[in-house]
Structure 1
Amino acid sequence: MLEVEDLSAGYGESQVLQGLSLAVGAGEVVTLLGRNGMGKTTTVRAIMGLLPGLGGRVLGGQVRFDGAALPGLPAHRIGRLGLGLVPEGRQVFPRLTVEENLTATAAARHGPARWTLPAIYRFFPRLEERRRNMGSQLSGGEQQMLAIGRALMTNPRLLLLDEATEGLAPLIRAEIWQVLAALKAEGQAILLIDKNLGAVMRLADRHVVVEKGRTVWTGTSEALAAAPSLRETYLHV
């Protein structure tokens, strides 16, 4: 489904990615792990075509989604191919209601709509309760639910989440992990960034560890659990 090979990218004179590779297959949950500043968010931005608007650019390598080359395509074209993003910082529309946030970019370009308002409200009953509230009136946890719901309303074939549970209260984090587990059970392909190592090891099929913009390791949760020196070297602050 998604193939990233030897990707290099940066901002201005600064090169952040120095030959990063990863892949996500249909129905897979894959995590992108590494300490802060190692290039995880830049990888997501490069995949989604967001670097040009932030003063960055892809310098080399390949990014393909079902064989289609993504570098050079505008972000809206990439989204239409079936990639949905839950960005770092949530970025909900503050002056739109919850329901308007959910429907603003709703689409079903790859068959019948699986994700509709009733489906999102079943996943996140709190959003239905607050459907007439503005995005700016929600708590951080509710905004994250809304950001996930908004991405799902595009009916993506691949869902990307950048810092899925960062800064959330423990109960809200647990709810988000339950939702992601349910999405996995339904066959949703996911590329996930999160610092909660225990939770991602329970959820994901495979992990990609990055250091200074390069892939340094990839493997299963079982292999990661059996490699304490790797976790100490690349994942602990």
Structure 2
Amino acid sequence: MLQVTGLEAAYGESRILFGIDLSVARGEVVTLLGRNGMGKTTTIKSIFGMVKPTGGQIRIDGKDLTGAEPHLVAGAGLGLVPEGRQIFPTLTVQENLQATATKGKWTLNRIYDLFPRLQERKRNMGNQLSGGEQQMLAIGRALMTNPRLVVLDEATEGLAPLIRADIWACLTRLKSEGEAILVIDKNVDALTKFADRHVVIEKGRVVWQGSTAQILATPDIKDRFLHV
């Protein structure tokens, strides 16, 4: 579904990405791993048109969307759960969800079934939610666009362990329902319980990629590229 080939990107004169290759098939869960500052978020922003690539190609279902505006990328079927959540603070939970709603299988009732806490808080403003509730809302908001690929940038960063467990359970359920997912997170142990493939970035380059079985069989990957 998503095919990224030779992706390059820069901020001014500072080159950040040096030929990233990345793909996600329908129904597949792929992780994007690496230490802080290695280019993971820039990769996501480039896919969504928030950073204009300086080279390479981004294709969605075979259509070239390299450097396309974010609304066109969303219209092509990608839903983003951004780093920092970025929910609407002065809208209620329900208004946040309705703001991105399109016709499809993901409705308010389905989101509330996935995250009962959001139904309990549906009349609360976005800025009245805890960090974990905001992350649930950010995921629900992305799903309300009825995407064919959900992209999560730092899925559980800064969340309490119990909330992290809720997020992992959510992603496991989404996979079981056939959703394609691209996820950035630092918790490799949790990711290997449900992800299919893993891509490791170091200084803007892909330095390793393989299946869950392969990363579990290569424990030095974490020491070499993921630990601070």
TM-score, structure 2 normalization: 0.99
SS of the aligned residue for 1:118 comes to helix
Task: Find out whether 1:126 has 2:129 as its counterpart.
Answer: no
Structure 1: segments with no counterpart, 5+ residues? 52-56
Using the alignment, how far apart are the partners of 2:102 and 2:47 within structure 1? 20
1:230 is displaced (CA, Å) by 2.2
| 2:36 pairs with 1:36 | yes
Residue identity (%): 64
Residue 14 of structure 1 aligns with an amino acid whose one-letter code is: S
Q: CA RMSD in A?
A: 0.7
3-state SS of paired residue (1:190): strand
Residues in 1 aligned to 2:221 and 2:136: alpha-carbon distance in whole angstroms:
32
Please give the secondary structure, in 2, of the residue aligned with 1:202: coil
Q: Distance in 1 between matches of 2:148 and 2:40?
A: 21
**DSSP 3-state at the match of 2:155:** coil
- Alignment partner of 2:87 out of 89, 92, 104: 92
Q: CA deviation at 1:107?
A: 1.1
- Residue matched to 2:78: 83
Identify the residue that residue 141 of structure 2 maps to in structure 1.
150
Q: Aligned to 1:140, which of 131, 134, 149?
A: 131
Q: How many Å apart are 1:10 and its aligned residue? A: 1.3
Which structure 1 residue ranges, 4+ long, deviate > 4 Å from structure 2? Answer: none
Does 1:17 find its partner at 2:17? yes
- Partners of 1:9 and 1:103 lie apart in 2 by 33
Match of 1:183 among 140, 158, 174: 174
Partner of 2:68 in structure 1? 73
| Equivalent position to 1:225, from 191, 216, 224 | 216
Match of residue 151 from structure 2: 160
- TM-score normalised by the chain length of structure 1: 0.95
Unaligned ranges ≥5, structure 2: none
2:214 partner amino acid: A
Q: Please state whether the residue corresponding to 1:126 is helix, strand or coil.
A: helix
